[in-house]
Each structure stands twice: as structure tokens, then as C-alpha cells.
Homo-oligomer: A and B are copies of this chain.
Amino acid sequence: MKKKCIVLLSGGLDSTTVLKIAQENFDVIPVIFDYGQRHKFEISAAKKIAMQNGLKARLIEIDLKQFGNSALTANIDVPKNQEIGNEIPVTYVPVRNTIFLSYALALSEVEKVYDIFIGVNALDYSGYPDCRPEFIDSFEKMANLATKFTQDESKIKIHTPLIDLSKSEIISKGVELGVDYSTTHSCYDPDKDGKACKECDACVLRSRGFKNANITDPTIYQ
């Protein structure tokens, strides 16, 4: 019998690839966050992806809208066609990954699950501080001091299988594992039908990734 693990599943390209990677060695509990994001297409995508992979997702509702200060949770325009990586953009959601991982940790403690997977990567990304390896390492250390169930010999491990991969490497890996990228949703600013804008950071990184991987991009653009 495989060990259980938790995978943070946003419905995007990265976390879906992580889910497939995790399934090779673990019995996966996907965790989806409805955090007050402005559009809900990624939540429907995440639910569909869990189902396609024969998994029952755990939906956790949290309200990050109350803190606003991000183009993803407040009435702030999503930047288009900007230079990526020069500075942390307004699509950064304050403390989002810390809060997500904290909830995942609570679930892992009550379910006695010691492995948590998250699809952060530090190449081809927008420079969010909470996607860097030093943040993840630091969260893992903290997690092992924070919890009752890690006070024996077992330790929490935060897995980041994508951390050093480029977007095209992630896509190639995913295709190899049979990921259906047509179900995944990356765009920060979709139209009312969920069609991608092709101009936000998430779209630019995604379409460049497919191009560099020489794989047909299944995304439906506006």
C-alpha cells in the first residue's frame, strides 16, 4: 500500500504536474483552496483534475480577500505584457503560500500524513518570495517544530519536485506522465467563459513553455 501525501492543487499547469509526479509513489489527497480569488475557473479546473485522476479532493475555504492588496483578490488590474522577473508584481498575494501550507500542515497532522507536495518553481516564475527554495526550507523547519505529531522521529517533508525546472521541462515531464493540460487553467485574467488572455505573466510563461517544449499548446485563448 502506498503512503499518503497531500498535494496543493490549484488547477494550474504546475500543481497538476506535481499531482501526477506524486501519484507515482503516493496515495494522493489533493487540497484545493477557495481563497477568494477573483475568478473561480481554476477551482473548477482543480476539481475536474482531481476527478480525472480518480481522487477525492479536499476543498478548504479561506478568505484572503479581506487582506486584498493583490490583483488576484482585489480590484487591481492584472498587468499585461510586462517584463517578467524585474520586480515582484501586483499579482503577488500577501502570505498566500504560508497560509496554504499552514492549512495543509493542519490536515497532515490530523491525517498523520508526513509528505506535502507544492508546485513552486524558481525558474520561469514571477519572483514571488514564497516560491523560493529558501522559503520552503524554512517553512519545513518551522513545521517540524510547530506540530505534536512530529515530536517523535517522523518528520514533515515539503516536496517541491518542480523547483529547479523550467516551464518547458515541467510540460515535457507532465506529457510523459500523461497530464491532460487542456483541463488546466493558468490565466490570471480570463474572460467570462474562462478563455485565457495570453498577455498576463501566467499566460506568457505558459505559452512560452509549450513553445520551448515543442508541444502543442491546448489552451483556448480569447
Q: How far is the CA of A143 from the CA of B146 in the complex (A)?
A: 14
Closest B residue, CB atoms, query A109: B94
Cβ of A106 and Cβ of B95 under 8 Å apart?
yes
Complex contacts, A60 vs chain B, CB 8 Å = 66
A135 on the interface (CB 8 Å rule)? yes
A170 on the interface (CB 8 Å rule)? no
Cβ of A148 and Cβ of B98 under 8 Å apart?
no
What number of copies of this chain does the assembly contain? 2
Cβ of A102 and Cβ of B95 under 8 Å apart?
yes
Q: B103, B110, B145: which contacts A69 (Cβ < 8 A)?
A: B110
Q: A138-B142, A141-B142 are in contact. Are A107 and B67 (CB under 8 A)?
A: yes
Cβ of B129 and Cβ of A151 under 8 Å apart?
yes
Q: A99-B102, A135-B142, A142-B138 are in contact. Are A147 and B109 (CB under 8 A)?
A: no
Task: Looking at the assembled complex, report how far the CB atom of A111 sits from the nearest CB atom of chain B, in whole angstroms.
Answer: 9
Complex contacts, A64 vs chain B, CB 8 Å = 106
A92 on the interface (CB 8 Å rule)? yes
